[in-house]
Amino acid sequence: MSADDAVTLPHAFSGQRLDWRDLPRHVRRRIDELAGAQVTAEITATEGFSPGFVAVLELMDGRDVFVKAVSHDISPVALAEARQEIVAAAALPPQVPAPHLQWADDDGEWVLLGFQAVHGRSPEIPWKRSDLDLVLGTLDVLSVATPLPGRSLPRTADLLADEFTGWCRMRTAAPEVRAEFAATGGPIAGWALERLPDLAAWEQAALDCTVGDGIVHGDLRADNVMIDADGKVWLIDWLHASVGASWFDLAFLLASVGAQGGGDPATLFAQHAPHVSHDELRAGLAGLTGSLVWGSLQPAPPGVPNLRPFQSAHADAALRWLRDLAD
């Protein structure tokens, strides 16, 4: 994929976040109790797709805490993901640069999470090489991390089993679905539709390539990365964490880096994961692109209106990388 193939990803923000005053009174009281001090101010998060309440809260005693709050009424899917994020946080070892989960609460209706507040910035877009080098160095550390003893995470293959079916679904989809993809996906969509049998076969091989013992974040993009004033990289939003082949994080990150002007993903991947074979990478990218394409053609989930355009643009960039591997 060349620099000329780079696309502009839509802003990674759900656009529908609750403010502190929007939370039910009993939820606000419970957050005060869990935080150990009254909330005095909020700074609403402006990145990511999590619906509900996501903000840094300043407390009366001078501390701050990063809080997520979601209910079944807001999004059943986000509620389940919040519960999984609690499990994931408990499994991460100290060397993983993730904000510490200080407290959590689940009353059956609302799930509340309070994390260490990390102050920093997202990587500059288009990506600067200095930011990218910091993030890639952090992935090198993550690649050798394993879950804490006695703690478990789902296997990457199990987590992605339903996701890595997009091209197989496309093969049996109604003609109007393929027509929509062709109309909205540009020239790369035409290539993908011509190669549907190959894409489906590579996609089906992808799950076998996920086997490993490493911790996989599963959703690394610029909006899930923060760089603090000391240059330390923090990886946030671990709701898709699993155990598997760590190179999947590198491939998924570089697909979006290429889309956002950060360099050629193929060259960067070869430099940082030379042990991964051509066939393994091709299968992994087929699984990723199929998931993104199929997802982009579905109705927007409640509270996350920007997700589908983001998936479509991300898919376009990842497909260009995959096309170079396929031809």
Which CATH number fits the domain that encloses residue 267?
Answer: 3.90.1200
Identify the CA nearest to 22 among candidates 38, 37, 44. Answer: 44
With left for phi above 0 and alpha for psi between -120 and 50, is residue 15 left, alpha or beta?
A: left
- Residues 173 and 302 both lie in one domain: yes
pLDDT of residue 4: 47
Q: How many domains would you assign to the chain?
A: 2
Domain boundary among the residues 92, 119, 146 is at 119
pLDDT of residue 123: 94
Residues facing 59 on adjacent strands: 39
- Residues 90 and 231 both lie in one domain: no
- Residues 109 and 200 both lie in one domain: no
Does any domain span residue 141? yes
Can you give the residue range of the structural domain that contains 275?
121-326
Domain boundary among the residues 87, 119, 151 is at 119
pLDDT of residue 279: 97
- Residues 287 and 143 both lie in one domain: yes
DSSP code for 92: -
Does any domain span residue 10? no
- Residues 138 and 105 both lie in one domain: no
- Residues 69 and 194 both lie in one domain: no
- Residues 133 and 79 both lie in one domain: no
Does any domain span residue 233? yes
d(CA 146, CA 91): 9
pLDDT of residue 150: 86
> Which residue type sits at 284?
G
pLDDT of residue 7: 52
Does any domain span residue 6? no
- Residues 68 and 103 both lie in one domain: yes
Does any domain span residue 4? no
- Residues 183 and 286 both lie in one domain: yes
- Residues 206 and 143 both lie in one domain: yes
Name the burial class of residue 266, with classes exposed (0-12), middle (13-18) and buried (19+) by CB atoms within 10 angstroms of its CB.
Answer: middle
Domain boundary among the residues 119, 134, 166 is at 119
Q: Report the run of H or E that residue 26 belongs to, with start and end.
A: helix 25-35
**pLDDT tens, N- to C-terminus, the chain (327 residues):** 444 455 555 555 455 678 999 999 999 999 999 999 999 999 987 666 678 899 999 999 999 999 999 999 998 989 999 999 999 999 999 999 999 999 999 999 999 999 999 999 999 989 999 999 999 999 999 999 999 998 889 999 999 999 999 999 999 999 999 999 999 888 999 999 999 999 999 999 999 999 999 999 999 999 899 999 999 999 999 999 999 999 999 999 999 898 888 889 999 999 999 999 999 999 999 999 999 999 999 988 776 777 888 888 889 989 999 999 997
- Residues 175 and 293 both lie in one domain: yes
Q: DSSP string of 119-150? A: PEEPPPSSPPHHHHHHHHHHHHHHTT--PPTT
- Residues 99 and 155 both lie in one domain: no
Helix axes 265-272, 129-142, angle to 10 degrees: 40
Which CATH number fits the domain that encloses residue 100?
Answer: 3.30.200.20
pLDDT of residue 15: 54
